[in-house]
Structure 1
Amino acid sequence: MPPEIQRLMRQVAGDENIISFSGGLPSARTFPREQLAQVAGEVLRDGPDELLQYGWPEGQPELRERIARRLARRGLEVSADDVLITNGAQDAIGFVIDALKAREVQTDALTYSTALDLFRHRRCESRTSYAPLRYAMPAMHNPLGRSLNDAERAECLKNEWIIEDDAYADLVFDGVAPPSLAVEANDRVFHIGTLSKTVAPGLRVGWLVAPPAFREKLRVLKNDQDLHSNGLSQAIASKLLVDDDGFEVRLGQLRSFYATCADRLVSELARIPEVKFEAPRGAFSIWVETPFAVEDETALRSAVRDFKVSWDAGRLFRTEPKHDDRLAFRLNYSALPAARFEEGVSRLKRVLDALGAK
């Protein structure tokens, strides 16, 4: 992330007077605090000593079994032995890059910003043209908020290896996530999931289902990096997933909550004729494009300083940013209370009006 944008984001996070559409965070109102408190107490009080000890790098068997069972709902025929527990999805993406020793990765023109950061830090060049490795979000795209169509899915499968980031698959608003790409090519697809969007990111529980030929290599990489993921978090997550039907009820509630937030923000954005956007079909955000030729840092600095509103800068999501890109940004409806959308969009409109007057 460019230093100036990072500075502004940190400023925004510490100022309640700024209406922030930035961050891509789940709503804290959706965290199952009472259930987490109860489960954590049960784990600490009644669980075996091993839960607080060092563990195996692949993760706890019960959690891996329950994740495998849930993946079967997406058409994936996997067992607990196929699942590697990671510290969120980001951890898993890094392991794949390291396992493949990848130096190039093909992504969409717009893609997950923190994945682009990771690729850059791993000295793995991101590009929109063909590379042996493809990074994709077929079930629900971030920041575009839609599923890939059949032609786009087929295009992904042309690459030699595919990282399938499934972080938002459970938050497709109509509840119908497409099958995993691994159903068609389990020998080439690294399937990644997480509980960060549907339970709480602070648990840092994610998983990776790799092609069989890579599973032992990834287990060794995990052992070398951090021995294993947090044992207490794993045990809590495992208990949360005991009741599949109960967890599905929770997912339905989350989809309804975020869909309502999305509809509310879409309605507010309709007041700004200069912007272009598509109503999201899932996830946490809306991608917005404007006709203004202005640098992200300049626009965001003015928005934060002069109008007390913020967004996620568009260049963060561009695989190949150009100097003549029109201003675009990601607006997140997930964490900001919906009651602040009207005023937030009014401030956003004033920012754009000021840009249009120059």
Structure 2
Amino acid sequence: MRHLVLFFLTIVLATRIEAASVDEAISVVRTASPTTAASDELREAWKTLAHAPAIAIPAILRGMNDSNPAVENWIRTAVDQVAQQTLDSGGELPKAGLIELLSDTSAAPRARRTAYELLENIDADKAHELLAGMVDDPSLEMRYDAIAAGIESAKAAEGDDAVAKYRMLLESARNLEQIQTCKKALEEAGEKVDLATHMGFVTAWRVIGIFDNRDKAGFDVAYPPEEEIEFSATYDGKESEATWMEGAVTTDDDLGNVDLNDKIGPEKGAVVYAFAEIDMPGAQAAQVRYASPNGTKLWVNGKEVANNEVYHAGGGVDQYVADVPLLKGKNTLLLKVCQNEQTEAWAQDWSFQLRVCEPLGGGLEFDNLTSQN
């Protein structure tokens, strides 16, 4: 009996030592940096993790929490090795621990993604069952996969059932291609979708110009609209007076694109300002996301939140993102859009699009007061 007790005490002690060794290795690996070369200590810590027992995989993956991409890469490769060695030797991965980690929305998105892939490898049905409930997941990667699976399910449905599925998926989707897929399916079923409103695009603006941007010198010039918004004012412009266009400039583009060549003319070496007011139902942390092929500055409630002196470098929806606190009631948006003097055909675009959303990209509801001006 004494020998049996000693045997079990030895196992418990060894397990505790092994766990402590893994914990220490995780702490070392978490010091990895994208800009610093790996040290011998870091490599040894990785080896410890790569030879840990499979039961430690969930704990190792949680080492990704609040870390940087370098740490995530070190941990992911170690976990991959542990999993492969375990499966090759006929062992089992810790299914319950993987499910628990995958279900924990506070865990690092890449850790949960890795847990999903490992779970799918050993129990695809369970993995897919859990994925089906992740259409509103805070991890955009998990949400994307859940929406993709939902779209396939909706395609196989018919009538009102299909419409209900697509409507739900449209509300949850954050990927533009998936949003457009849902919109198309709904409209083919006879339902109208106002995509610009759904995504939170501002579609009515007051516009003033033209100010000088020859030799790109106007980008850093604080022209009067940066100091005051007075629709009746007249200022010295590039070659003549600069005044606010009468009434709101609006767009019916699905993605809120405002074509300044169409609204003002194909000006070169020029600056315009676009101003909008939105009324929010409540105060909240939000994002203003915008895109433009031109040099831009953005102010929200009078505070500069973005500055991008970039011309004709491509980009698309949500090219630039600014985290902003929005107030209950009126909020102001001022966008400076600078066109340079390039003459190539691909450099003629002078436009912008801007939307207001929650941090994961869902469009917020607001009243575009500018449309009433």
- State the TM-score, normalized to the length of structure 1: 0.26
| Bigger-Rg structure (1/2) | 2
Q: Which has the higher strand share?
A: 2
- State the TM-score, normalized to the length of structure 2: 0.26
